[in-house]
Amino acid sequence: MADLELRLDRLDNLPGAIARTAAKDVRTVFPESTLISLDGRHPDPLFVAVLEHGNETVGWAALQKLQAWMAHHPLPRSMLIFVGNVRAAELQSRMVPGRPDYNRIWTGGDTPEHALARQVLEIARAAKPFAAIDLHNNTGANPLYALVHKERAPDLQLTSLFAAHAMLTRNPPGTLSEAFSDFCPAITAECGHSGVAVNEEAAFNLVLDALHLDHWRGAADLELDLYTVAGRIEIAPEARMVFEHGVDGDIEFPASLEKWNFFDRPAGSTFARIRGDGAVIRVCDDQGRDVTGEVFRREGDRLLLTRDFTPAMLTVNEPAIRADCLGYLMEKA
């Protein structure tokens, strides 16, 4: 697929077929990535991205709910809706094998996917969006939370429309919401597992609430638990991971690892057990700097936390870990 050609289709309506189409069949409605422009009462649009990752279907479900709502209500604000990685959605996978991750292409690169992202960014920037929301699911056991990239009052207000938890981060690089945060309030809404009705309702309600805002009031609407990211946890490609005690592997995590998400873990507590002397785990901060020695220390076969941390996005899903990361370590902002 080295010679893959991508195009950005443009529409000014929501096709009726959306309502009866599953995310995996999205290409019967949108054969290519599509940017949809809808007119509303306020001209500066709300930008919403769905299906950046093909197996994260919450955005598609929210789009179906929005279409049903619009049958009985006028749009209070114009919209730009980006239907992203339709090829990955057809495969029911995060991304197309061998191709870039659609949520890592927004800050420069030379692939067709990067060119597509530049085109979307140019159109969106010219439209002077009111805000941008990127709707995602995740694999670990997490509450609803948002990724926010600037500690500005409008960004925090937008976050508080969705959840009480937020990560202030610029990691991983190249995300859509980070790129959009340069010219409007922008968040990634992490909506828990795919296919869960309450998560889909939360995503739709976020979009609906943002559509009804007519100004930023300069403060969050509810108290936020705001965290900074100390590091992103990566596992060496050759390392054998296990999630059960006594099973042979290079690094052992507890089966209950995901239950640590958004709960404080004290300094000195065991995070994992490592067999051998190989560098099987690495932690990078928002600048890409290796901070493994600042957050972990070895004591025998145990890997211990050097100070109090709050984990997030930890998962025991090995394909997800290999495609992205094990999770994050955070501290209160």
> Which pLDDT value is given to residue 213?
96
> Which pLDDT value is given to residue 219?
76
Q: Is there a contact between 138 and 211 (Cβ–Cβ < 8 Å)?
A: no
CA–CA distance, 274 with 271 (Å, rounded to integer): 10
CA–CA distance, 187 with 46 (Å, rounded to integer): 12
Residue showing tokens 């937008």: 158
Q: Is there a contact between 154 and 114 (Cβ–Cβ < 8 Å)?
A: no
C-alpha distance from residue 97 to each of 1, 22, 100, 193, 315 (Å) = 10, 21, 8, 22, 21
Residues of the chain with pLDDT under 70: 1-3, 171
> Which pLDDT value is given to residue 230?
93
Indicate yes or no: pTM above 0.85: yes
Residue showing tokens 């992202």: 117
> Which pLDDT value is given to residue 142?
87
> Which pLDDT value is given to residue 304?
96
Radius of gyration of the chain (CA): 20
With CA atoms as reference, report the closest residue to 176 among 93, 100, 76, 89.
100
> Which pLDDT value is given to residue 3?
63
